[in-house]
Amino acid sequence: MKGVPVPRARAAPRRHIWIPVVLIFVAITILWVYLYPPQDYTYPVRDWYPVRDWFPAEPARELTDEETAARVVFRQILSTPPFPSRNPKIAFMFLTPGKLPFEKLWELFFKGHEGRYTIYVHASREKPEHVSPVFFGRDIHSDKVGWGMISMVDAERRLLAKALEDTDNQQFVLLSDSCVPLHNFDYVYDFLMGSRHSFLDCFDDPGPHGVFRYSKHMLPEVREAEFRKGSQWFSVKRQHAMVVVADSLYYTKFRHFCKPGMEEGRNCYADEHYLPTLFHMMDPAGIANWSVTYVDWSEGKWHPRSFRAKDVTYELLKNMTSVDISYHVTSDEKKELLQRPCLWNGLKRPCYLFARKFYPETLNNLMNLFSNYTIF
Ligand SMILES: *[C@@H]1O[C@H](CO)[C@@H](O)[C@H](O)[C@H]1NC(C)=O
Ligand SMILES: *[C@@H]1O[C@H](CO)[C@@H](O)[C@H](O)[C@H]1NC(C)=O
Ligand SMILES: *[C@@H]1O[C@H](CO)[C@@H](O)[C@H](O)[C@H]1NC(C)=O
């Protein structure tokens, strides 16, 4: 049959038409993906410590030998996942002059969660008489701490180094003798362990309690534009704890040039500036920029509000746990209010896990209310 090739001859041009159509379609798809890249769906996150291709921004000058060395060490630490632990724990690090008035409350908090936490106590004035068994034998080697002095940072580093010795510790929370828990243990554990960020307070204050404390002696490593401020009460993940104990270059700058009674009437307090500045420079995207410890500065005094027994009600505690915006006020004449939602892995959530400052007299009220206000 000679008629057979005819349909073949007719079909051939049709195939040729389809090839450019497919090519155009593919080209449009590629262009589309290039112009509108797929969104980064970041939730839920099960990978607690994603390895990032991380590198601190290079300043536009030649680095000193010490800076090059410090950066390469930090890069290695931050891009290396911690030892896999079959029993991940949170280190609760108490920084106190002496007695811990809320031991019994913390005991209630820790009860039933043995093996998921480790307690460390740095007592700078006198060795505390512990009243709760969970605190027995948890004192670490301590030294004197002067308010606003570098010795405060030294105590924090001492606690971190001690807590890092236990490779099961994955999160490191700094607490004071006047801090209390706002949630139950499971809530705190999931919140901290599940976070991609460390909770370190950090903001840019152009006023007298911020940038005015900066000294040019910190150059070239620390520029004024990078000087930051934040509350000292942090919760950091293991790599960040490692960076703090590994750093000697930036620590030394603050040790020498950030202290009370400097030239031109400047008072610099290392515990409010060293860590926020270090992490702002070395891993800005790795910190949440707010602290998980609530504190009330609304009275506008030199010290935050301290709560009395009569203040401690269910309503007060519920108010603290419902705040989901972090506030900072600049100390210049503008008194600018900076507010940002508290984002946990990109989701807006209540900010606080702990609160300060409470007088010891509030213990009974807190114990009575604890199982009520920490239900979720
Ligand atoms: C924290 O602030 C810095 C800017 O100082 C920003 O680059 C970073 O993304 C912030 N962190 C988070 C988790 O939003
Ligand atoms: C709780 O917050 C509400 C709304 O901000 C306020 O009116 C109330 O006085 C607060 N209560 C306590 C006990 O702080
Ligand atoms: C907790 O205490 C508040 C105030 O006393 C009360 O209204 C509430 O019902 C209590 N909640 C529970 C779950 O016991």
Q: Which two tokens stand for residue 299?
A: 């009275």
What pLDDT does 25 receive?
A: 67
Q: What is the pLDDT of residues 249-295, one digit of tens each?
A: 999 999 999 988 887 778 999 999 999 999 999 999 999 999 999 99
Question: Which ligand places an atom closest to the C-alpha of 318?
Answer: 2
Centre of ligand 1 from the C-alpha of residue 288, in Å: 6
Residue 113 in contact with residue 198, Cβ under 8 Å?
no
Nearest ligand by distance to the CA of 196: 1
Find the helix or strand (DSSP H, E) in which 326 lies: strand 325-329
- Tell me which of 45, 280, 282, 289 to substitute to probe ligand 1's pocket, judged by most ligand atoms within 8 Å of the beta carbon: 289
CB 372 less than 6 A from any atom of ligand 3: yes
Tell me the ligand closest to 314's alpha carbon.
3
Answer whether 56 contacts ligand 1 (Cβ < 6 A): no
What pTM was estimated for this model as a whole? 0.84
**Which fold would CATH assign to domain 65-373?**
Spore Coat Polysaccharide Biosynthesis Protein SpsA; Chain A (3.90.550)
Domain extents in the chain: 65-373
* Residue 42 alpha carbon to ligand 3 centre in Å: 36
Residue nearest to atom 9 of ligand 2 (CA): 316
315 pocket-lining for ligand 2 (C-beta < 6 Å): yes
CA-CA distance, 152 to 373, in Å (whole number)?
32
List of long-range contacts for 316-324, beta carbons under 8 Å, 24+ apart = 317/182, 317/355, 317/369, 317/373, 318/373, 320/182, 320/294, 320/352, 320/355, 321/182, 321/183, 321/350, 321/352, 321/373, 322/350, 323/294, 323/350, 323/351, 323/352, 324/348, 324/349, 324/350, 324/351
The rounded Å distance from CA 286 to ligand 1 centre is 8
Locate the ligand 3 atom nearest the alpha carbon of residue 375 and give its number: 13
| Residues in the chain where the model's pLDDT stays below 50 | 1-13, 36-53
Instruction: State pLDDT tens for residues 178-196.
Output: 999 999 999 999 999 999 9
Ligand 2 atom 11: residue of nearest CA: 316
Using CA positions, which residue lies closest to atom 1 of ligand 1? Answer: 289
| 316 touches ligand 2 (CB under 6 Å) | yes
316 alpha carbon, closest ligand:
2
Structure tokens at 209: 């309690």
pLDDT value at residue 301:
80
Look at residue 30 in the predicted model and tell me its pLDDT.
Answer: 60
What integer pLDDT is reported at residue 192 of this predicted model?
97
On the question of a cis peptide bond just before residue 220, with omega within 30 degrees of 0, the verdict is yes
